[in-house]
């Protein structure tokens, strides 16, 4: 019996180039490992517009489905830019 692989990361930081690289690298890993889903738990005050655009483009081009949610209770995902 095989089980689906689900990856989960938590981002608790402003959105900047290092955050973008971390998320993009994780998506690359999910694709390489043939994960069935990547979950991103997000809590951010916002950040750089260019970094957010890079993240969005990578999520949209991902072969692995990506689920992003704001967590934990009381967390936020403020505007980047």
**Can you tell me the mean pLDDT for 2-6?**
79
pLDDT for the residue 2 = 59
User: Does residue 59 sit within a domain?
Assistant: yes
Cα–Cα dist 11/2, whole Å:
29
CATH assignment at residue 20 = 3.90.226.10
**Position of tokens 């180039």?**
17
Write out pLDDT tens, residues 20-63: 999 999 999 999 999 999 999 999 999 999 999 999 999 999 99
- Structural domain tally of the chain? 1
Question: If pLDDT is split at 50, 70 and 90, which confidence band does 80 have?
Answer: low
In a domain, 42, yes or no: yes
- pLDDT for res 79: 76
- Read out DSSP for 25-50? HHHHHHHHTT-SEEEEEE-B--B-HH
What's the whole-number average pLDDT of the chain?
93
Residue 1 has pLDDT above 70, yes or no: no
CA distances for 53 relative to 2, 10, 16, 19, 32, angstroms: 35, 19, 11, 12, 23
Per-residue CA distances from 64 to 20, 42, 44 (Å): 17, 18, 23
């Amino acid at each position: 019996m095989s089980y689906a692989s689900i990856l989960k990361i938590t981002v608790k930081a402003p959105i900047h180039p290092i955050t973008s690289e971390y998320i993009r690298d994780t998506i690359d890993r999910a694709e390489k490992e043939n994960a069935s889903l990547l979950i991103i738990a997000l809590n951010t005050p916002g950040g750089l517009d260019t970094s957010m655009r890079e993240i969005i483009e990578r999520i949209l081009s991902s072969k692995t489905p990506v689920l992003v949610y704001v967590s934990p209770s009381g967390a936020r995902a403020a505007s980047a830019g």
